[in-house]
């Protein structure tokens, strides 16, 4: 069951030649379907988009006449605003549908809602849904491009791509760089998608969490029988003070309060004591280390305020990178496929 | 090619003597090194240091939906272009559509006083009311022919080649 959550449609690493001129994906459902050259293509395109965003008139006609629909079944500020703005900067028409205030409240099923949206002419459907795998269902149902903006505990590909973009900015190639991700590894779609993106770009990833929230089977080596889905370059540790030493980047994940009630997590104070990114802990990482957080933050729980707003923090840069990444993804999906 | 570029540089200087604020904008990809070479030539003529930038028109193309290689290259705009004289530089002028797209892109950066166009090769077959102010060489072609400019900075060698369209095939060129 756990393996299904990780990657519903994972069929091994893609075999197609890297960096082909034509973009071969109609949808972006997770990062696991992208090979290294394709991830780099997204980052390269996002860099050009950043230049567009810096112009006095940040608006281009690249997606003129394209209708983009934001379909959000979960609360979201930055992802949704960022997709909406990305579409508008590229000249697309963007409509927003949220579960509250739409026919969803009247009991319409996901498939029916999506068919309706496709019927009014949406070329791209961007979906966030609490059920893992919902975007895959939609991609099979309609002819529009589908972008996964976060599905349950499964994937959040644009977040992982923007994190990769930030790291690429800081270090160039990521080969041999070590990234520590701290938080609820078992339930985090951000962590999952980041695992795919970062390891494919050559980084080593250390997952840090209290033992019940640590998918130890993901790490290779150390165990008697390796799990078939164990990833190279991934290690697990329940001791942040040990894992953070010499790291090139540290990413804290939001602690979801509902998990604390489920007895998987100790109290917020107990979690903070052992796993909060404090200035003292960050000082043990490499001197050039960057600090990241996908937001929204619980300052004082998983990250100290002084770290969140400190010199090593790239958290604000993550938000603006998110816009460029989402423009790049929209552009490649709609215009890159011949 | 060096002689042709030097002649264009002289023409630009003649029309825009110092101290006119001149900016050369190369069109991605091969217009960019051409703009840089022209800037050096102009500096050799009158000592002016001319800014050379790069402009990518791929987000503005009217055939974006029909092209399969959507690769966006960086644009570099040297400073504020409001009120300046801009010379767009490209290798081959053909239908004029990519110039149209570049003009749209450029105008999103500001309001230049004048925009002119310099091309190494004018091969004819315009589809829009666009003409070049400075032309290196007029090259009569058929619509289906393929004109390739290679530059040392990009291709390792400077040359221009005309690859004729195969006889008997429809020649609708880049349309």
Helix (H) or strand (E) holding B120: strand B114-122
Q: Which CATH number fits domain B2-141: 3.40.50.300, 3.40.50.2020, 3.10.180.10, 3.20.20.70?
A: 3.40.50.2020
Q: What's the pLDDT tens digit per position in A116-162?
A: 999 999 999 999 999 999 999 999 999 999 999 999 999 999 999 99
Kindly report the backbone phi and psi dihedral angles of residue A228, in degrees, each rounded to the nearest multiple of 5, phi listed first. Answer: -60, -25
Q: How many CB atoms lie within 10 A of CB A11?
A: 9
E strands present in chain A: 67-72, 93-98, 124-129, 145-151, 178-182, 204-208, 234-237, 249-252, 290-292
Same fold for the pair A2-156+319-335 and A158-314: yes
Give the distance from residue A61's alpha carbon to the nearest chain B alpha carbon, in angstroms: 6
Residue spans per domain, chain A: 2-156+319-335, 158-314
Q: State how far the Cα of A204 lies from the Cα of A236, in Å rounded to an integer.
A: 11
Question: What average pLDDT does this structure show over A102-123?
Answer: 87
Q: How many CB atoms lie within 10 A of CB A280?
A: 11
CATH number of A2-156+319-335: 3.40.50.1370
Which comes out higher in pLDDT, residue A13 or A29? Answer: A29
Nearest CA in chain A to B101: A61
**Burial class of B37 by CB neighbour count within 10 A (0 to 12, 13 to 18, 19+):** buried
Partner-chain contact A21 B68, CB within 8 Å: yes
Q: What's the pLDDT tens digit per position in A240-274?
A: 999 999 999 999 999 887 666 666 777 888 899 99
Nearest to A215, CA basis, from A194, A234, A242: A234
Rg (CA), chain B: 16
Partner-chain contact A21 B108, CB within 8 Å: no
A179 pairs with which residues across the strands?
A205, A249
The partner residue sitting opposite B70, judged by closest CB among A59, A61, A335, is A335
Q: What's the pLDDT tens digit per position in A194-245?
A: 999 999 999 999 999 998 888 877 776 555 566 766 777 888 899 999 999 9
Nearest CA in chain B to A61: B60
CB contacts, 8 Å: B109 with chain A: 55-57
Q: State how far the Cα of B52 lies from the Cα of B168, in Å rounded to an integer.
A: 43
Give yes or no for B72 touching A (CB within 8 A): yes
Least confident of A18-32, A50-64, A143-157: A18-32
- Tokens (6 digits) for A137: 């269902």
Helix (H) or strand (E) holding B115: strand B114-122
Partner-chain contact B68 A57, CB within 8 Å: no
Give the distance from residue A52's alpha carbon to the nearest chain B alpha carbon, in angstroms: 8
C-beta of residue B6 within 8 angstroms of C-beta of residue B41: yes
Nearest CA in chain B to A55: B109
**Residue B108 backbone zone (phi > 0: left; psi -120 to 50: alpha; other: beta):** alpha
Nearest CA in chain A to B64: A335
- Is domain A158-314 annotated with CATH 3.40.50.1370? yes
């Amino acid at each position: 069951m756990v393996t299904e959550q990780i990657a519903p449609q994972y069929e091994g690493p893609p075999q197609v030649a890297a960096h082909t001129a034509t973009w071969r994906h109609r949808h972006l459902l997770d990062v696991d379907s992208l090979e290294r050259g394709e991830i780099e293509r997204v980052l390269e395109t996002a860099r050009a988009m950043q230049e567009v965003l810096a112009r006095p008139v940040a608006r281009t006609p690249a997606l003129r006449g394209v209708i983009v629909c934001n379909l959000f079944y979960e609360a979201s500020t930055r992802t949704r605003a960022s997709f909406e703005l990305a579409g508008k900067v590229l000249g697309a028409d963007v409509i927003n549908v949220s579960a509250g205030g739409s026919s969803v409240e009247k009991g319409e099923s996901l498939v029916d809602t999506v068919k309706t949206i496709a019927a009014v002419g949406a070329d791209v459907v961007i979906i966030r849904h609490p059920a893992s795998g919902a975007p895959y269902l939609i991609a099979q149902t309609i002819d529009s491009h589908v972008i996964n903006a976060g599905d349950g505990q499964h994937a959040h590909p644009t977040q992982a791509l923007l994190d990769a973009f930030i790291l690429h900015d800081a270090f160039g190639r990521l080969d041999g760089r070590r990234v520590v991700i701290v938080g609820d590894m078992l339930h985090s779609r951000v962590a999952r998608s980041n695992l795919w993106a970062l390891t494919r770009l050559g980084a080593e990833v250390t997952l840090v969490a209290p033992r019940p929230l640590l998918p130890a089977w993901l790490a290779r080596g150390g165990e008697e029988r390796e799990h078939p889905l164990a990833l190279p370059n991934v290690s697990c540790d329940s001791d942040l003070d040990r894992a953070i030493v010499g790291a090139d980047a540290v990413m804290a994940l939001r602690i979801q309060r509902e998990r604390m009630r489920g007895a998987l997590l100790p109290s917020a104070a107990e979690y903070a004591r052992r796993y909060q990114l404090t200035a003292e802990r960050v000082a043990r990482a490499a001197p050039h280390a960057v600090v990241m957080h996908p937001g929204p933050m619980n300052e004082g729980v998983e990250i100290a305020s002084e770290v969140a707003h400190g010199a090593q923090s790239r958290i604000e840069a993550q938000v603006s990178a998110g816009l460029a990444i989402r423009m790049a993804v929209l552009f490649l999906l709609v215009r890159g496929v011949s | 090619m060096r002689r042709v570029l030097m002649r264009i540089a002289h023409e630009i200087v003649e029309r825009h003597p110092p101290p006119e604020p001149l900016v050369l904008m190369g069109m991605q990809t091969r217009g960019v090194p051409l703009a840089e070479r022209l800037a050096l030539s102009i500096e050799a003529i009158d000592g002016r240091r001319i800014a050379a930038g790069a402009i990518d028109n791929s987000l503005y193309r009217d055939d974006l939906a029909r092209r399969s290689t959507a690769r966006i290259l960086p644009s570099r705009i040297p400073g504020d272009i409001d009120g300046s004289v801009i010379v767009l530089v490209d290798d081959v002028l053909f239908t004029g559509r990519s110039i149209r797209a570049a003009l749209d892109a450029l105008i999103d950066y500001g309001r230049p006083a004048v925009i002119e166009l310099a091309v190494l090769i004018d091969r004819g077959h315009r589809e829009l009311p666009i003409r070049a102010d400075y032309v290196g060489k007029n090259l009569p072609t058929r619509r289906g022919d393929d004109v390739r400019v290679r530059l040392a900075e990009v291709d390792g060698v400077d040359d221009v080649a005309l690859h004729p369209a195969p006889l008997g095939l429809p020649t609708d060129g880049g349309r």
